[in-house]
Amino acid sequence: MKHDSYLKYLFILFISLSMISGCRENQPGAELSLASPVINIPQSGGYVDFNIFTNTSWHIDNPEGFSLSPLSGKGSTTVRLTTEPNNQVASVRSGVFTVVGEENLSVVVTVTQPGIAPVLTVSPQQIEASWSQEVYTLDIVCNFAWEASSDAQWCQVSPASGDGNGVLLVSASENSTSQPRTAVISLGNAGLGISRLIPVNQEGYVVNPRMLDSLVLVRFFTETGGSSWQKDKWDLASPIDTWTGIRLNTQGRVDSLSLASGVISQQGIIPDCIGELTDLVALSLGSNSFTGPFPESVRNLKLLRRLNIGSNPQVNGPIPEWIGELTRLERLSLGSMTGLTGSIPASIGQLVNLTDLNLVGCSGLSGSIPPEIGNLVNLQNIQLNNVPLTGTIPPEFGRLASLENLGLYNTKLSLPIPDEFFDGLTHLSSILFHQNANFNGPLPEGFGRLTTTSDRLSIRLENCNFTGTIPESWVNIPIVSTQLRLQGNRLSGTIPELMKQHTCWNENIWKPSLYICPQQVGYGFTNCD
């Protein structure tokens, strides 16, 4: 019995010792950590709180330069770091300290604080200098030391250095040449890697613009044989605003040169000096004796609204592609220039302000009508008569919503006439399609869909090769139609009775006995009475 009790006692003792040993084995070790080992302090200073997570005693080593509270403790806690503002420009203040715990645990903490952001603004940011000697000022707003310099001898700066806000004087010497020149002023602090570049653009020596224009006109007079002009000779001893065909604008520049209708009898190219009259809005040199290619110098006249060099048959070569650069053009007249060759350039579609286009009688042109003409939404009058154009009328014509007068007679164009033509043009007053031998098909039904805001409408389709009879839809041709000419075609059959009841079917308006009924030999209507 005593033996059993003894064994029971030993068993209980063993169990107790095992539990104690297990508790010791499960006891946690020392721990130490921070939410972040990097603390960022704002430039303005103040305080930042950071948390220490630990189950041991701790203290802070190397706290020099930092205000920390507390410097030691036991267990997790919050430490406050306090700093003064960092008033250094573009200078980052930094340092480290160490949080040390038991069992050789430690965390190195890095502290950073930016300095004041550098500021450098210069006004103005660019100097536009006249040709004469002048001093210009640059206002500097800055919070650090700076240096200034110029890369050109003719452009000097003063002072060469400064600290903080200030004024920089820029001295530009006189430019005695006609050519503009450029200098660059450098301002900044190389150590900080901050700089500003200020361009100085100085114009060339400028003569009075009116004087320059007068010199150009004298050259024009001389190069065109002014002494032999048939009329309107200029008196070079008188002011230029008294010369025939010359008009000045409010700035005293020549804005109109008009010497049309046989003034200049001497043959020769249009002088290049024309391109120096850069304020021209109107240039009219038609019906003279000019020769040679289309004048390249006209390309410089970006303000042109009206250009007329028509009826100079010896001006030759293609219409240049650069014509599309004269985007302010409203009227372009090249009529009767039989020496022009090639096709109508697609760039003509860039002349979106064009209201009038005249190529009448340019018999040397060829090719088709460029569809880009459809971009000329302001076009009111287009005359391509007596030009051997081929192909068909492009459907883009339907976009010419402002079109009033269309001349396309005596060409080599063919049918069909696109539906867009009849549906999109609502301001027409004249449609001139006569003498087109390749119009050799039925009369288009679309003429019966025409509408117009005009108080008159002239439709000329005579002397083509239209076949068939008059479509019944034509009874809807607007009653403002003052002219309908169909004679000289190959029309036949019976005229629709409703057509003969049209308001305009009488000898006072359409005059059918003269302008509708007579057809080519072997053709004619059966009921034309």
Predicted pLDDT of residue 92: 86
Residue 175 scores a pLDDT above 60: yes
* pLDDT tens-digit map of 366-402: 999 999 999 999 999 999 999 999 999 999 999 999 9
Residue 422: pLDDT band (50, 70, 90) is very high
* pLDDT tens-digit map of 260-313: 888 998 999 999 999 999 999 999 999 999 999 999 999 999 999 999 999 999
Predicted pLDDT of residue 12: 53
**What would the mean pLDDT of 11-33 be, rounded to a whole number?**
58
Where is average pLDDT lowest: 8-12, 201-205, 327-331, 443-447?
8-12
Q: Which two three-digit tokens encode residue 416?
A: 């069909």
Predicted pLDDT of residue 25: 47
**What would the mean pLDDT of 55-71 be, rounded to a whole number?**
86
How far apart CA 403 and CA 400 sit, in angstroms, is 6
Domains of the chain with bracketed CATH: 32-113 (2.60.40.10), 120-202 (2.60.40.10), 209-277+286-298 (no CATH), 278-285+299-525 (3.80.10.10)
Predicted pLDDT of residue 26: 47
How far apart CA 389 and CA 361 sit, in angstroms, is 11
Where is average pLDDT lowest: 22-26, 134-138, 309-313, 433-437?
22-26
Predicted pLDDT of residue 5: 55
Predicted pLDDT of residue 6: 53
Q: Give 392-397's long-range contacts (Cβ < 8 A, gap of 24+).
A: 392/368, 392/416, 392/417, 392/418, 393/369, 393/417, 393/418, 393/421, 394/368, 394/369, 394/370, 394/418, 395/371, 395/419, 395/420, 395/421, 396/371, 396/372, 396/420, 397/373, 397/421, 397/424, 397/425
Higher local confidence (pLDDT), 145 or 205: 145
* pLDDT tens-digit map of 481-525: 999 999 999 999 999 999 999 999 999 999 999 999 999 999 999
What is the sign, positive or negative, of the torsion defined by CA atoms of 270, 360, 410, 519? negative
- Map tokens 């009775």 to a residue: 497
Residue 23: pLDDT band (50, 70, 90) is very low
* pLDDT tens-digit map of 65-121: 778 999 999 998 999 999 889 888 878 888 899 999 998 899 999 999 898 889 999
How far apart CA 500 and CA 516 sit, in angstroms, is 11
How far apart CA 207 and CA 177 sit, in angstroms, is 11
Residue 15: pLDDT band (50, 70, 90) is low
CA distances from 368 to 371, 391, 401, 420 (A): 9, 5, 21, 18
DSSP type of residue 340: E
Do 278 and 303 touch, CB atoms closer than 8 A? yes
The mean pLDDT value of the chain amounts to: 91
Residue 134 scores a pLDDT above 80: yes
Predicted pLDDT of residue 304: 98
* pLDDT tens-digit map of 360-375: 999 999 999 999 999 9
Predicted pLDDT of residue 2: 47
Q: Which two three-digit tokens encode residue 21?
A: 């040993």
Residue 207 scores a pLDDT above 80: no
Predicted pLDDT of residue 35: 83
Predicted pLDDT of residue 208: 80
- Map tokens 């420009």 to a residue: 89
What percentage of the chain carries pLDDT values higher than 90?
Answer: 77
Where is average pLDDT lowest: 26-30, 178-182, 505-509?
26-30
Residues in the chain: 529
Predicted pLDDT of residue 8: 55
* pLDDT tens-digit map of 319-328: 999 999 999 9
Where is average pLDDT lowest: 80-89, 129-138, 141-150, 264-273?
80-89
Residue 419 scores a pLDDT above 70: yes
Where is average pLDDT lowest: 63-67, 128-132, 359-363?
63-67
Greatest mean pLDDT among 27-41, 230-244, 341-355 lies in 341-355
Could you count the other beta carbons within 10 Å of the beta carbon of residue 507? Answer: 9
Predicted pLDDT of residue 89: 83
Residue 36: pLDDT band (50, 70, 90) is confident
Residue 255 scores a pLDDT above 70: yes
